C-alpha cells in the first residue's frame, strides 16, 4: 500500500531494552526523546485560546469509568494513559512542558460522561481528553466536544459510521474488525450459520447489523439474535436457545462485567469452546476482561482485534515490561488498553508538529502522524481521524492470553462509512 512506508516498519527491530530516566521507567525503544525547551515556545504563542497551559505544564483530562459495570474494561485504559504520560514527562514533556491530568469517573453512566466532559472543557480548560470506552459514552460526549471545540482521543474498537473533527479514533472501526473477522471465520472454519449476541446499546446493535449484512452477502445465515442490558448476569435462557439452534459460530459482543457471568455459564452448560463446535468469535473480550472471566472459562474462543499482549515484536515486549513495572506483574494488556496508550503519544506528536496546543492547529496537524514504534506495530493517522492498522485474530488460552493465529499482511485502511453497510 502506498500509505505504508516500508522503511518505517523496519524500525520495529530497535532495541527491546528499557532505561531508567528521572526515576521513571522509560521504554527507550518506543519513542526517542526530543527535550524541547519551553523557552523556545512562549506560552502566549502556543496557547492563544485560553487552555490550561503555563510555562511549566499543560493539563489534559482522563475520562473513563472506574466504577460500575464498565470498570472491568476501562481501568486498563486509565493505566495505559498514565504510563504514557509518565514516559512523556520523563522525556521532558511536550514543548518543554510536563503533562498534568485531571481524572474524572464516567461511572458507567452516559449522562455522567457528558457532564464530566463539559467540566473538563469549560471549567478546567484541558488541552485534550483521553477517554470513553462504550459508543454510548462517546455519543454522549460528542456534542459537548463539538460545541466547545475540545479534542478527544477515543481508544475503543467501534461500529464506525462516524467521523468527527474533534475526535481521533485510535481503535478499529467495522471494516477493520467486524468484516475482516467474519471473512476469517467463514474461510478458515467453514462457518455457515451464526448466532448474534450482544449487550443492549448502540455498539453491539450496530455492529451486529453490519455483521448480519456481511453474513448475508457471503450467502450465509443468521439463526438467532439476542441483546441484554449492561450488567446482565443471567444467560442460561439464551445459552439453551444456542444449544437448540446449533450455530456454527456464536458471534458475541457482550460487554463489561456481564462477560464474567456469560462465559462461566457457557462452560457450565457444557459448551466446550476448545472443541470449536460451535466456534465462539468475539469482538469485545480483550485480555482485560479475561482477567475477570478467568482463562479457564474462555479457553478456545477466538477474538478479532488489532492487538494482543502476546504480540512478539520488540516494541510490544518493551511496552509490556514497562506496563507491568508500573502496575504489577499480574496485570494484563488488552486491545483497548494498548489503543489508549497511543492517545497521549499521538497528541504529543501532533502538538509538536503544529508547534501549538491550540485545538484547531493540533487538528490540522494530526492527519499523517505516524508511530513506527507503537506496541501493535506501525500506525498512521488517516485524514478521516482513524488509524491505519493490521487486523489480527487471537485464540484464547487457559493462561488468559490470546495466541495470534492470523494477521493481515499489510495495514488495513480505515473506512468508517463502508458502502452497503450504512
pLDDT in tens, 93-118: 999 999 999 999 999 999 999 999 99
Same domain? For 297 and 332 the reply is no
| Euclidean distance between the first and the last CA atom of the chain, given in angstroms as a whole number | 26
Residue-wise pLDDT for 181-203, tens only, equals 999 999 999 999 999 999 999 99
417 vs 231: CA distance, rounded Å: 30
Mean pLDDT, rounded, of the chain: 91
* Residues 292 and 163 both lie in one domain: no
Residues above pLDDT 70, as percent of the chain: 92
Residue 412 falls inside a structural domain = no
Is 195 domain-assigned? Answer: yes
Using CA atoms, how far residue 198 sits from 113, 228, 296, in Å, is 22, 7, 22
Whether 162 and 14 map to the same domain: the answer is yes
Q: What is the pLDDT of residue 118?
A: 98
In a domain, 112, yes or no: yes
Q: Are residues 222 and 347 in the same domain?
A: no
Q: Is residue 2 part of a domain?
A: no
Do residues 156 and 140 share a domain?
Answer: yes
| Residue 422 domain-assigned (yes or no) | no
- Do residues 247 and 109 both lie within one domain? no
pTM value is: 0.89
Number of structural domains in the chain: 2
Q: Quote the domain boundaries for residue 350.
A: 9-171+311-388
135 shares a domain with 88: yes
220 plus 102 within the same structural domain: no
pLDDT score for 5: 34
Helices (H) and strands (E) in the chain, counts: 14, 17
- 1: in domain: no
What's the CA dihedral at 338, 344, 350, 352 to 10 degrees? -130
Q: Are residues 329 and 219 in the same domain?
A: no
Q: Are residues 291 and 380 in the same domain?
A: no
Q: Quick one: which of 169, 128, 91 has its CA closest to 380?
A: 169
In a domain, 39, yes or no: yes
201: nearest Cα among 70, 311, 316: 70
What is the predicted pLDDT for the residue at 31?
54
In angstroms, the CA 174 to CA 414 distance is 9
d(CA 324, CA 361): 35
Render each residue's pLDDT in the chain as its tens digit; 422 residues. 333 333 222 222 222 223 223 333 333 334 555 678 999 999 999 999 999 999 999 999 999 999 999 999 999 999 999 999 999 999 999 999 999 999 999 999 999 999 999 999 999 999 999 999 999 999 999 999 999 999 999 999 999 999 999 999 999 999 999 999 999 999 999 999 999 999 999 999 999 999 999 999 999 999 999 999 999 999 999 999 999 999 999 999 999 999 999 999 999 999 999 999 999 999 999 998 999 999 999 999 999 999 999 999 999 999 999 999 999 999 989 999 999 999 999 999 999 999 999 999 999 999 999 999 899 999 999 999 999 999 999 999 999 999 999 999 999 999 999 999 88
Distance CA 253, CA 206 (A): 11
Q: Which residues does residue 406 pair with via DSSP β-bridges, in sequence order?
A: 393
Residues 267 and 130 in one domain: no
Read off the CATH number of the domain in which 189 is found: 3.40.50.2300
234 domain residue, yes or no = yes
pLDDT for the residue 35:
76
- 259 and 403 share a domain? yes
Amino acid at each position: 500500500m502506498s500509505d505504508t512506508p516500508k522503511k518505517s516498519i523496519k524500525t520495529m527491530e530497535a532495541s527491546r531494552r528499557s532505561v531508567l530516566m528521572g526515576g521513571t521507567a522509560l521504554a527507550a525503544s518506543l519513542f526517542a526523546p526530543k527535550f524541547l525547551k519551553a523557552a523556545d515556545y512562549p506560552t502566549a504563542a502556543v496557547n492563544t485560546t485560553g487552555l490550561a497551559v503555563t510555562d511549566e505544564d499543560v493539563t489534559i483530562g482522563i475520562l473513563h469509568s472506574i466504577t460500575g459495570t464498565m470498570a472491568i474494561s476501562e481501568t486498563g485504559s486509565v493505566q495505559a494513559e498514565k504510563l504514557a504520560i509518565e514516559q512523556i514527562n520523563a522525556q521532558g514533556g511536550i514543548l518543554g512542558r510536563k503533562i498534568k491530568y485531571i481524572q474524572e469517573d464516567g461511572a458507567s453512566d452516559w449522562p455522567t460522561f457528558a457532564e464530566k466532559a463539559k467540566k473538563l472543557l469549560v471549567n478546567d480548560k484541558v488541552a485534550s481528553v483521553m477517554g470513553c470506552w462504550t459508543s454510548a459514552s462517546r455519543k454522549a460526549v460528542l456534542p459537548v466536544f463539538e460545541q466547545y471545540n475540545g479534542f478527544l482521543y477515543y481508544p475503543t474498537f467501534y461500529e464506525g459510521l462516524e467521523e468527527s473533527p474533534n475526535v481521533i479514533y485510535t481503535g478499529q472501526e467495522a471494516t477493520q474488525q467486524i468484516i475482516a473477522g467474519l471473512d476469517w471465520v467463514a474461510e478458515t472454519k467453514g462457518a455457515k450459520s451464526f448466532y448474534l449476541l450482544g449487550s443492549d446499546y448502540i455498539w453491539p446493535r450496530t455492529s451486529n447489523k453490519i455483521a448480519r449484512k456481511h453474513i448475508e452477502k457471503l450467502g450465509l445465515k443468521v439463526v438467532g439474535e439476542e441483546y441484554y442490558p449492561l450488567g446482565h448476569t443471567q444467560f442460561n435462557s439464551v445459552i439453551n436457545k444456542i444449544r437448540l439452534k446449533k450455530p456454527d459460530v456464536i458471534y458475541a459482543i457482550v460487554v463489561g462485567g456481564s462477560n464474567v457471568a456469560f462465559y462461566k455459564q457457557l462452560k457450565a452448560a457444557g459448551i466446550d469452546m476448545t472443541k470449536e463446535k460451535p466456534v465462539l468469535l468475539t469482538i469485545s473480550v480483550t485480555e482485560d476482561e479475561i482477567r475477570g472471566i478467568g482463562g479457564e472459562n474462555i479457553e478456545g474462543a477466538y477474538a478479532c482485534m488489532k492487538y494482543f499482549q502476546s504480540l512478539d515484536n520488540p516494541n510490544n515486549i518493551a511496552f509490556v515490561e514497562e506496563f507491568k513495572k508500573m502496575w504489577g506483574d499480574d496485570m494484563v494488556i488488552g486491545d483497548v488498553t494498548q489503543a489508549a496508550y497511543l492517545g497521549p503519544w499521538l497528541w504529543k506528536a501532533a502538538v509538536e508538529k503544529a508547534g501549538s496546543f491550540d485545538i484547531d492547529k493540533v487538528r490540522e496537524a494530526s492527519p499523517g502522524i505516524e508511530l513506527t514504534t507503537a506496541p501493535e506495530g506501525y500506525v498512521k493517522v488517516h485524514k478521516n481521524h482513524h488509524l491505519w492498522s493490521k487486523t489480527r485474530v487471537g485464540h484464547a488460552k487457559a493462561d488468559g492470553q490470546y495466541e495470534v493465529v492470523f494477521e493481515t499482511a499489510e495495514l488495513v485502511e480505515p473506512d468508517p462509512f463502508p458502502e452497503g453497510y450504512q
